Amino acid sequence: MGARLKEERERLAKSQTDFAALGGVSKRAQITYEKGESTPDAAYLNLVAAEGVDAQYVITGVRSSAGLTRDEIELIEKYRAAPLAVKSAAIGALTAGALPEAGPKFAIDFGSATIGQNNTVAGGSHAFNVTTTPTKPPRKKK
């Protein structure tokens, strides 16, 4: 917990003295929290959370969704509701990297969007190009 608290303090670019003041504790108490020698109470966590600390992350190690944008939340919701083939295509599209020089043409149609090589995906008020790169080049015929 201490390491995550320190990580959050550094993310917010605060000194231990300034951060301690936000939480209503002494600098020494802040140091002991960050070293894991003692555990902050709920009142402290409530105060630092009001200043932008992800208290859920500090306590559990799992980031809260409060830091996600509306677009990110929409993407996650659609991904969770999608069939496996669509999830695979989306992962492939997001990890494809640079545009391919040449490759097989393919597409997967799932409702309002088609994912494939150099296709435009439109959903809601957002549109972006999706490209894929084959992992193996096609075999040459002899």
Q: What is the pLDDT of residues 23-73, one digit of tens each?
A: 999 999 999 999 999 999 999 999 999 998 999 999 999 888 766 677 888
- Res 69: pLDDT: 72
Give the pair of three-digit tokens for residue 80.
Answer: 């969770």
Percent of the chain clearing pLDDT 70 (strictly above): 68
Q: Assign 129 to helix, strand or coil.
A: strand
> pLDDT confidence of 122, banded at 50, 70, 90?
very low
- Res 27: pLDDT: 97
> With 0-12 CB in 10 A as exposed, 13-18 as middle and 19+ as buried, what is 48?
buried
> On the CB side of 106, how many CA atoms lie within 13 Å of its CA?
9
Give the pair of three-digit tokens for residue 124.
Answer: 């809601």
Give the pair of three-digit tokens for residue 56.
Answer: 């859920």
Domains of the chain as residue ranges with CATH: 2-67 (1.10.260.40), 70-130 (no CATH)
Q: Specify the pTM.
A: 0.48
- Res 13: pLDDT: 94
pLDDT over threshold 70, residue 1: yes
Angle of CA points 64, 70, 71, to nearest 5°: 110
Mean pLDDT over 80-98 rounds to 87
Closest CA to 72 of 124, 132, 141: 124
Closest CA to 91 of 135, 140, 26: 135
> pLDDT confidence of 125, banded at 50, 70, 90?
very low
